[in-house]
Amino acid sequence: MVFDKELFSIVTLSLEVSLLAIALATLIGVPLGVCLGRCRFPLKSIVVSAANTLMGLPPVVVGLVLYLILSRRGALGFLSLLYTPAAMVLAQWLLALPIVIALSHSAVAAVDPVIAQAARALGASPFQISMAVVREARYALSSAVIAAFGRVTAEVGAVFMVGGNIAGHTRVMTTAIAMEVDKGGFELALSLGLVLITISLAINVALHLFQRKGAQPSG
Amino acid sequence: MPLTLSVSGVHKHYGGNHVLRGVTFEFGEAGTYVFMGPNGSGKSTLLRVAALLERQDEGSVGYHSGAETLKADIALIRRITLVLPKVGVFNSSAFENVAYGLRIRGVGRKEIKEKAEKALDSLGLLHKRNQRAALLSSGEQQRLGLARALAIEPEVLFLDEPTASVDEKNTRIIEDLLVSIRKEANRVVVIATHDKEQAAKQADRLLYLKDGRIVVP
Amino acid sequence: MVFNLPVRSMASPKCLLKLIGLAPLALLVLFAGLVLVTNFANFTDLAWAGGKEIVCASTTSTENSGLFAYLLPIFEGKTGITVKVVARGTGAAIELGKRGDADVVFVHARDAEMKAVEEGYFVNRRDVMYNDFVIVGPPGDPAKIKTAGSAIEAFERIASGGHTFVSRSDNSGTNIKELDIWKKAGLDAKGRKWYLEAGQGMEKTQRVADEKRAYTLSDRSTWLATKDKDRLDLAILFEGDPILFNQYGVMAVNPGKNPNARYTEAMQFINWLVAKEGQEAIGAFKDAHGNRLFIPNARLDAR
């Protein structure tokens, strides 16, 4: 194991980028998913199945498209975002968003309709009813966010393309591992791999806990 | 002024089912009113429509305070409540369940604690206030549903099959409470039940519902 | 069936949050906000925050040699310009420059570089340094290339004996050089049974050659840096032919074609590399095993 400054900065950057992407995806995806679960509007089923399809979006395609857009020749080239952590945040956000939306939707849709009826009977406004349903789905919603976090931290293709794996700037755990293996730096690669496994293990334990807590015993 | 309720000529359809076929009644003073009738007679639907949780297809549902007819807005809805046969407890503690109705009304923390604990106590649930509501027995959940409704001190309280799927001990607790509410005589209580004994025991006035109409037995 | 009612009384935001019970998610958002506020300058392009930086497209082998990690801090300390190195294959690196996604291109494929300069994508190309290619293979040298008179002859012997040869096949500078030699030998190796296309970087290709008891073309710096570490049972069997000369060049993206390119800073970098200080730094650079990997050879005339 190597625990040096380089490893530390790579791990820190990875976490910062992924947490930021997930936070933004949560901020937008959870309300959207809740809306999908609560509201009725035309073409709703199409939106839902679009979110479900986009959940499996191939990261390299996201990376490629984002690269072309952020490239100095691209539509958003003037922002100079290519090869910055911000570009990686954007890529991970794009990957996380459909997951958060689709899983939030099913989390809210899975709540027993009697909850909304009870809240309404107790005098809740339509907004408060939605909040009661969201509260009921809180563990499933947290699971949705954690699942998305798990996916983006393990992702390599998209962040490599738009981040560039620049030492000290945009080198994150996954791209560093890929590179270190390429040049035979197995020691650092293994250390990073262990950190990554630890994180994904923690994620799975958290997921399990949330799912167990969220499971309502009948009665 | 106490709240009074008048329902006239109410019809309700579900798909092709004509569930309510012109129901008319008036509850003019505090007391316990019981709707008796077999399953499928339209009791639940009538209660939901009367409690303003669903809109009727035809006819009118009106609440009055003295001579004034009140607008069916959220302020009015918050003066009445309905306890569903399947309570729908929230996935939180028993206390939080009972506090919910008060919280959404913006009641202060101290008052919430006072009122919620009083409601829990009246149904013998105070010692379970920190327990997760979902883990309570079905009888306790039914009591919790009633405590949740009482905490908000409704002027009109609708109870849909309050003791269905509840064991004897819990039935007694619930019925005793209903009796004491009736003695206080300060609110309208409307109960739907298919239990003849319960109906006879609780009712100030008994109405029979059959095939969506009020009938003379 | 939804019974819409006017919302008259709304609970306070604090109460709402409690109602939702999503405290962990709120914490997450709070943390992310903190990261964003404290790290905004680092997360977006430093140029926004007033810092000067350029993107240098280079090759994986150059970066993996450790040269940039050695050179760039010296340059940054002197000029305050941060050089961000994006390492790709030679072809991809030049393409990045053509698209304007890099400001400087630092590769080792002279013909391809000259072509891109002629096409107008780059200006001010300079030779910087060189190392050379070597042919490595099993120490027993079954194809007897040790006694070959030229690299072309060595390739001919490998082909005629049907000895396994591993090609990088990744459009890298090394790969371009290899294909050039096959072409000069008048041989079409692609598709032959003994010709393996690895599609990998230099070090992995060497490992494949080691596993397959095969020949391959490598650059001396990678070879020196990795032969002990990877415990390669291979040896240098041919070297010294001028055709194996591996010239590294640097060139600036033409601001006439890509107005967004940071030409001024790019030229500062190029001028530093070819001037005395940069040249001496390149000459002083040694790998972890104490091998000198590059020989500086910049001349002052621009190409």
- B107-120: per-residue pLDDT in tens? 999 999 999 999 99
Cβ contact (<8 Å) for B81 and A121?
yes
Cα–Cα dist C50/C64, whole Å: 30
Cα–Cα dist A174/A157, whole Å: 9
In-domain check, residue C6 = no
Do residues A33 and A110 make contact, with C-beta atoms less than 8 angstroms apart? no
Chain A residues with CB under 8 Å of B100 CB are 119, 122, 132
Give the residue among C96, C74, C99 at the shortest CA–CA distance from C86: C96
Cβ contact (<8 Å) for B103 and C15?
yes
Distance from CA of C27 to the nearest CA of B (A): 20
Chain C residues with CB under 8 Å of B77 CB are 5
- More confident site: C173 or B69: B69
Do residues B202 and B34 make contact, with C-beta atoms less than 8 angstroms apart? yes
Paired strand residues for C55: C84
Cα–Cα dist A42/B90, whole Å: 30
Paired strand residues for B34: B191, B206
Q: How confident is the model at residue B201 (pLDDT cuts 50, 70, 90)?
A: confident
In this structure, what token pair is assigned to residue B8?
A: 């006239």
- More confident site: C24 or B191: B191
| Range in A142-156, C1-15, C103-117 with the lowest mean pLDDT | C1-15
Between the two ends of chain C, the Cα-to-Cα distance in Å is 78
Paired strand residues for B210: B213
Chain segment C238-290, per-residue pLDDT in tens? 998 989 988 899 999 999 998 888 999 999 999 999 999 999 999 999 877 77
Helix A85-109 to helix A5-38 angle, to the nearest 10 degrees? 40
Give the residue among C103, C106, C134 at the shortest CA–CA distance from C236: C134
Give the residue among A203, A78, A99 at the shortest CA–CA distance from A144: A99
User: Which of A22, A71, A126 shows the shortest C-beta gap to C5?
Assistant: A126
Rounded to whole angstroms, what are the CA distances from B193 to A141, B46, B143, C235?
38, 12, 16, 95
- Nearest 10 degrees: Cα torsion C155, C159, C160, C161: 100
User: Which of B52, B53, B73 shows the shortest C-beta gap to C8?
Assistant: B73
Do residues A70 and A81 make contact, with C-beta atoms less than 8 angstroms apart? yes
CATH assignment of the domain containing C125: 3.40.190.10
Q: How confident is the model at residue C214 (pLDDT cuts 50, 70, 90)?
A: very high
The residue with tokens 């293994």 is A190
- Domain-ending residue, one of C221, C244, C267: C244
Same domain membership, residue C137 and residue C238 = yes
Do residues B185 and B15 make contact, with C-beta atoms less than 8 angstroms apart? no
% of chain A with per-residue pLDDT over 70: 95
Cα–Cα dist B119/B131, whole Å: 16
Question: A-B interface: how many C-beta pairs under 8 angstroms?
Answer: 64
Cβ contact (<8 Å) for C101 and A72?
yes
Paired strand residues for B207: B35
Q: Which of C44, C207, C221, C265 to mutate to test the interface with A (most CBs of A within 10 A)?
A: C44
Same domain membership, residue C106 and residue C83 = yes
Chain A residues with CB under 8 Å of C200 CB are 182
Cα–Cα dist C203/C212, whole Å: 14
pLDDT at C286: 87
In-domain check, residue C3 = no
**C178 Cβ contact partners less than 8 Å away, ≥ 6 residues apart:** C167, C168, C217
Average pLDDT over residues C197-218: 90
Chain A residues with CB under 8 Å of B149 CB are 121-122
- More confident site: B63 or C299: B63
Q: DSSP string covering A17-36, please?
A: HHHHHHHHHHHHHHHHHHHH
User: Which of B92, B100, B136 shows the shortest C-beta gap to A122?
Assistant: B100
pLDDT at C300: 58
Q: How confident is the model at residue B45 (pLDDT cuts 50, 70, 90)?
A: very high
- More confident site: A148 or C225: A148
Same domain membership, residue C117 and residue C253 = yes
Cα–Cα dist B72/B77, whole Å: 7
In this structure, what token pair is assigned to residue A210?
A: 């949330």
* Angle made by CA atoms C9, C11, C14, in degrees to the nearest 5: 160
Cβ contact (<8 Å) for C31 and A23?
yes
Q: What is the DSSP letter of B128?
A: G
Distance from CA of A59 to the nearest CA of C (A): 19
pLDDT greater than 50 at residue C119: yes
Cβ contact (<8 Å) for A121 and B136?
no
In-domain check, residue C22 = no
Rounded to whole angstroms, what are the CA distances from A69 to A17, A90, B216?
20, 12, 76
User: Which of C25, C44, C63 shows the shortest C-beta gap to A26?
Assistant: C25
| Range in A67-76, B17-26, C6-15, C198-207 with the lowest mean pLDDT | C6-15
Same domain membership, residue C144 and residue C233 = yes
In-domain check, residue C229 = yes
Average pLDDT over residues C41-46: 61
**C3: nearest CA in chain A?**
A126
Distance from CA of C20 to the nearest CA of A (A): 5
Distance from CA of B33 to the nearest CA of A (A): 19
In-domain check, residue C176 = yes
Cα–Cα dist B42/B58, whole Å: 15
Distance from CA of B147 to the nearest CA of A (A): 11
In-domain check, residue C261 = yes
Give the total residue count for chain C.
303
pLDDT at A3: 61
Cβ contact (<8 Å) for C9 and B105?
yes
**B140: nearest CA in chain A?**
A219
State the sign of the Cα–Cα–Cα–Cα dihedral A77, A83, A87, A92: positive
Do residues A13 and A85 make contact, with C-beta atoms less than 8 angstroms apart? yes
Predicted complex ipTM = 0.90
pLDDT at A158: 93
Cα–Cα dist C217/C214, whole Å: 10
State the amino acid at position A178 in one-letter form.
A
Average pLDDT over residues C67-87: 93
pLDDT at C240: 87
Q: Which of C9, C25, C229 to mutate to test the interface with A (most CBs of A within 10 A)?
A: C25
Helix C13-20 to helix A126-136 angle, to the nearest 10 degrees? 40
The residue with tokens 């069936």 is C1
Q: What is the mean pLDDT of chain A?
A: 87
Same domain membership, residue C225 and residue C148 = yes
Map residue C107 onto helix, strand or coil.
strand
pLDDT at C9: 40
**C1: nearest CA in chain B?**
B54
The range of the structural domain enclosing residue C151 comes to 132-244
Give the DSSP H or E segment for C145. none
Which residues of C make CB contacts under 8 Å with B?
A: 1, 3, 5-9, 11-12, 15, 18-19, 21
pLDDT at C19: 47
Same domain membership, residue C239 and residue C136 = yes
Cβ contact (<8 Å) for C22 and A126?
no
pLDDT greater than 60 at residue C2: no
Same domain membership, residue C196 and residue C144 = yes
Same domain membership, residue C271 and residue C234 = no
Same domain membership, residue C152 and residue C164 = yes
Rounded to whole angstroms, what are the CA distances from A156 to A9, A66, A191, C55, C296?
17, 14, 17, 21, 36
pLDDT greater than 50 at residue C303: no
- Helix segments in chain B, DSSP class H: 43-50, 74-77, 94-103, 109-122, 138-151, 168-184, 196-202
pLDDT at C40: 66
Cα–Cα dist B12/B57, whole Å: 5
Cα–Cα dist C109/C90, whole Å: 7
Cα–Cα dist C127/C303, whole Å: 8
Q: How confident is the model at residue A199 (pLDDT cuts 50, 70, 90)?
A: confident
Q: How confident is the model at residue C1 (pLDDT cuts 50, 70, 90)?
A: very low
In-domain check, residue C12 = no
In-domain check, residue C177 = yes
pLDDT at C97: 94
Do residues C295 and C232 make contact, with C-beta atoms less than 8 angstroms apart? no
- Nearest 10 degrees: Cα torsion B171, B172, B176, B182: 40
pLDDT greater than 50 at residue C302: no
Q: How confident is the model at residue C126 (pLDDT cuts 50, 70, 90)?
A: very high
Cα–Cα dist B178/B192, whole Å: 13
**C227: nearest CA in chain A?**
A184
pLDDT greater than 60 at residue C11: no
Do residues B142 and B170 make contact, with C-beta atoms less than 8 angstroms apart? yes
pLDDT greater than 70 at residue C113: yes
Cα–Cα dist A82/A195, whole Å: 27
Tally of domains in chain C: 2
Q: Delineate the domains of chain A, giving CATH numbers in brackets.
A: 5-215 (1.10.3720.10)
- More confident site: A210 or C13: A210
Distance from CA of C161 to the nearest CA of A (A): 31
Same domain membership, residue C203 and residue C282 = no
Same domain membership, residue C144 and residue C71 = no
In this structure, what token pair is assigned to residue A98?
A: 């459909």
Do residues C265 and C103 make contact, with C-beta atoms less than 8 angstroms apart? yes
Same domain membership, residue C136 and residue C121 = no
